[in-house]
Homo-oligomer: A and B are copies of this chain.
Amino acid sequence: MENKKRLTLKDIAAKAGVSLTAASMFLNGKAKKYNLADATCERIEQTMRDNNFVPNFHARAIASKQTMLIGVLIYGGIETSFWLNILAGIEEQLAAKNYHMLFSVSHSSPERELESIRFMCTKGVDGLIIAPVSGSVNNFDYLCELDKTMPVVTMNTRIEGLSAAYNDNYAGGRTASEFLIRRGHRKIAFLGGLGFNRTRAFFDVMLENQIEPEVFLNVAGFLPHSGRFTAVFCFSDYQVLELYNEAASGGVKIPENLSVIGYDNMNFTSLLSPRPATVEQYKKELGVAAAEIILERINGGIRPADRKFTPTLHEGASVKKIGFLG
């Protein structure tokens, strides 16, 4: 990768017309202790700000004998949540090549996300794997810009111009929807949030089969009308869980009265009965692929092809076959 040659403290010192020592002392808040004049400090500060200088933390680590890093080790055995699986995949692949993860949990808002990205990059990493906050479109430009300096790979989100490892949720959505059709269902409802690839796929399949689905945003709104449908496509397994629960108290039997299909294959689905139909997203594999892409990029320089995974169907026992053609 091209190296945009980050400024060093030495550069800053030169620009500010002071010694490296003075700059270092200022940087470490020891200006007072070393009798730096206020004017000098201001000059250094201004220069740092103007060049948005960030000290190399490896150099600091070695010179000061403090790494400013804390190892965090958690047990990924039982609590196999979505992200933990992905992280495990990334780690496994990176470790094989002697790379490591500097980790950050970004938070809901795009602003905080941007902060985190900046933060990471100034810490001197060789690349960035990121699962952007959905809808943080404002950060996309920044990421693309960043990609000129170091490889950036997105996970489960595609950004024009960046490498990505992703589950093809449009395909997954089609798979789920077509499964309902194949089992003979024609009166089908949708339950959950809109505007995602999987939902777009659902509506496309419905259109192709001349079915006009009704849309419900939440379980409470849906259940009273469930009699009008033979099947429901749930945005995620969370909706399935809620629906199962409400259905039990509402006397709706699954799959006898209502067929249900979910999405994500969350770990709790194994505890539901009948086992819900759901669509598996690749998790660990996604992590591995993201790591592979970034490593290739670091070594080769050229942008490798995206890595697309096609989610597979778990049929479960929550979708009844309706006598039609068989």
Give A residues with C-beta under 8 Å from B. Answer: 3, 56, 58-59, 61-62, 65-77, 79, 81-84, 86-88, 90-91, 94-95, 98-108, 113, 116-117, 119-121, 123-134, 155, 238, 241-242, 244-246, 248-249, 268, 271-273, 291, 294
A117 CB contacts on chain B under 8 angstroms: 73
B81 contacts A79, C-beta separation under 8 Å: yes
A103 contacts B67, C-beta separation under 8 Å: no
A224 and B94 CA atoms in complex are apart in Å by 49
A106 CB contacts on chain B under 8 angstroms: 73-76
A192 to chain B, nearest CB (A): 13
A105 contacts B74, C-beta separation under 8 Å: yes
A100 CB contacts on chain B under 8 angstroms: 68-70, 102, 123
B62 contacts A58, C-beta separation under 8 Å: yes
A309 to chain B, nearest CB (A): 17
- List 8 contacting pairs A-B, 8 Å CB cutoff, sorted by A: A70-B101, A73-B128, A74-B106, A74-B155, A75-B132, A81-B82, A238-B271, A245-B273
A87 and B238 CA atoms in complex are apart in Å by 23
B127 contacts A71, C-beta separation under 8 Å: yes
A91 CB contacts on chain B under 8 angstroms: 103-105
A132 CB contacts on chain B under 8 angstroms: 75
A102 and B91 CA atoms in complex are apart in Å by 11
A90 and B120 CA atoms in complex are apart in Å by 16
B77 contacts A107, C-beta separation under 8 Å: yes
Using known A-B contacts A62-B58, A100-B123, determine if residue A83 contacts B72 with beta carbons closer than 8 Å: no
A123 CB contacts on chain B under 8 angstroms: 69, 71, 100
A99 CB contacts on chain B under 8 angstroms: 68-70
A125 and B66 CA atoms in complex are apart in Å by 8
A102 CB contacts on chain B under 8 angstroms: 69-72, 100-103
For the complex of A and B, list the 9 residue pairs with the smallest distance between their C-beta atoms, beginning with the closest. Answer: A103-B103, A248-B248, A81-B81, A71-B120, A77-B108, A76-B105, A58-B61, A242-B271, A71-B125
A156 to chain B, nearest CB (A): 10
A102 and B102 CA atoms in complex are apart in Å by 5
A122 to chain B, nearest CB (A): 10
A307 to chain B, nearest CB (A): 16
A246 CB contacts on chain B under 8 angstroms: 273
B88 contacts A124, C-beta separation under 8 Å: no
A126 CB contacts on chain B under 8 angstroms: 66-70
B68 contacts A90, C-beta separation under 8 Å: no
Given A71-B121, A73-B131, A241-B271; 11 other pairs, CB 8 A cutoff = A67-B124, A68-B99, A69-B100, A69-B125, A70-B101, A70-B128, A70-B129, A72-B104, A77-B107, A84-B105, A101-B104
A94 and B62 CA atoms in complex are apart in Å by 20
Name the one of B86, B103, B248 contacting A87, with C-beta atoms under 8 angstroms.
B103
Name the one of B66, B70, B238 contacting A94, with C-beta atoms under 8 angstroms.
B70
Question: Chain B residue with minimal CB distance to A119?
Answer: B95
Using known A-B contacts A62-B56, A271-B238, determine if residue A88 contacts B70 with beta carbons closer than 8 Å: no
A69 CB contacts on chain B under 8 angstroms: 99-102, 123-126
